[in-house]
């Protein structure tokens, strides 16, 4: 994983990218932010909370913003009400924007920051909900999703969606395939995308297999320029000898490195099997499909996790 992070550091260093950290009361977050600032990787923005910022850290190279004293708060409220299109009154907006996650997300939306990292002491919902309401998904993208970068020695793979959508439709899976290919490129992977199923190349005729086949066709018809194929079982996607037998003529079968799971059950189980039995490091979930990057940390994360996720978030911002 270290080599990948070092490669991303070279991409973001000196770009002046600003990453928002709403959880400035958390020592893990502040330690990561101070380190990022010291190394010149990003310009951290710490959102001040009622609990204060741990005094043991030198935050002189970080920008600290208190929502209660923010000079452009009225403009932010106006922009929020407009963005919510009648779903929030001005009074509601003033209350909601005192929440550090909503405030930080608005900084990203207003182009005063390039991305946001939260979740060390907030739930996934607290992190993702403001992003979906304010930043929203890219044009043509129906849903955000979460992928994992799986690393073992020199092997690198993308697994998605493993975090967000319980039962995505074919249209969603097609978009996940294309967006995951873009993510793979960010990590130096030449993407070969397999849409996974318990069926390979029409071997089973069920509603579940047909959904994956439809998704494959939609992804291919999008003319993204990426190698995308399916439906196929994991062994057909990954093992060359099996791929040749089960899916002759496919440019992906037997050589896939980016895997799209048909539902959240299989995706979540799949990455954890690879992690626990296969000895892979799992970096993520990394959210994709948003107009600007927002990433959700685990509440069990450490400072290194926050540091690495921030680097990935900064790199994602260069793709938008």
Domains and CATH numbers, the chain: 2-136+291-317 (3.40.50.10950), 145-281 (3.40.50.10750)
Structure tokens at 158: 């993308």
User: Residue 232: in which H helix or E strand, if any?
Assistant: strand 227-232
pLDDT tens digits for 180-220?
Answer: 999 999 999 999 999 999 999 988 889 999 999 999 999 99
Quote the DSSP letter at residue 193: E
Mean pLDDT of 114-140: 90
- In the chain, the percentage of residues whose pLDDT exceeds 90 is 82
pLDDT tens digits for 68-123?
Answer: 999 999 999 999 999 999 889 999 999 999 999 999 999 999 999 999 999 888 88
Spatial distance between the Cα atoms of 115 and 286, rounded to a whole number of angstroms: 12
- With a CB cutoff of 8 Å and minimum separation 6, the contacts of 177 are 193, 195, 215, 216, 219, 226, 228, 258, 260
CA dihedral defined by 19, 23, 25, 27, rounded to 10 degrees? -70
DSSP states of 110-132: TTS-SEEEE-SSS-HHHHHHHII
Spatial distance between the Cα atoms of 240 and 46, rounded to a whole number of angstroms: 48
Q: What is residue 124's predicted lDDT score, i.e. its pLDDT?
A: 81
């Amino acid at each position: 994983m270290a080599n990948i992070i070092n490669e991303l550091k070279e991409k973001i260093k000196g770009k002046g990218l600003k990453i928002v950290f709403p959880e400035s009361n958390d020592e893990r977050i502040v330690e990561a932010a101070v380190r990022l600032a010291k190394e010149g990787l990003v310009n951290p923005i710490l959102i001040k909370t009622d609990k204060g910022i741990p005094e043991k850290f030198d935050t002189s190279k970080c920008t600290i913003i208190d929502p209660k004293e923010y000079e452009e708060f009225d403009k932010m409220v106006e922009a929020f009400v407009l963005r919510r299109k009648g779903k929030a009154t001005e009074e509601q907006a003033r209350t909601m924007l005192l929440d550090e996650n909503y405030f930080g997300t608005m900084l990203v939306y207003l182009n005063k920051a390039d991305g946001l990292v939260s979740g060390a002491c907030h739930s996934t919902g607290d992190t993702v909900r403001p992003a979906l309401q304010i930043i929203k998904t890219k044009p043509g993208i129906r849903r955000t999703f979460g992928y994992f970068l799986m690393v073992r020695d020199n092997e690198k793979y993308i697994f998605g969606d493993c975090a967000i959508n319980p039962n995505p439709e074919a249209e969603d899976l097609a978009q996940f395939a294309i967006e995951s290919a873009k993510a793979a490129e960010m990590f130096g992977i030449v993407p070969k995308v397999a849409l996974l199923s318990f069926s390979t190349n029409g071997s089973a005729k069920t509603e579940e297999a047909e959904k994956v086949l439809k998704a494959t066709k939609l992804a291919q018809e999008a003319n993204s320029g990426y190698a995308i194929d399916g439906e196929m079982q994991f062994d057909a996607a990954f093992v060359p000898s099996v791929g040749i037998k089960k899916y002759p003529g496919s440019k992906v079968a037997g050589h896939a490195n980016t895997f799209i799971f048909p539902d959240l059950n299989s995706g979540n189980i799949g990455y954890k099997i690879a992690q626990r039995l296969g000895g892979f490091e799992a970096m993520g979930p990394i959210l994709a499909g948003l107009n600007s990057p927002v990433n959700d940390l685990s509440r069990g994360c450490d400072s290194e996790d926050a540091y690495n996720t921030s680097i990935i978030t900064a790199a994602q911002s260069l793709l938008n």
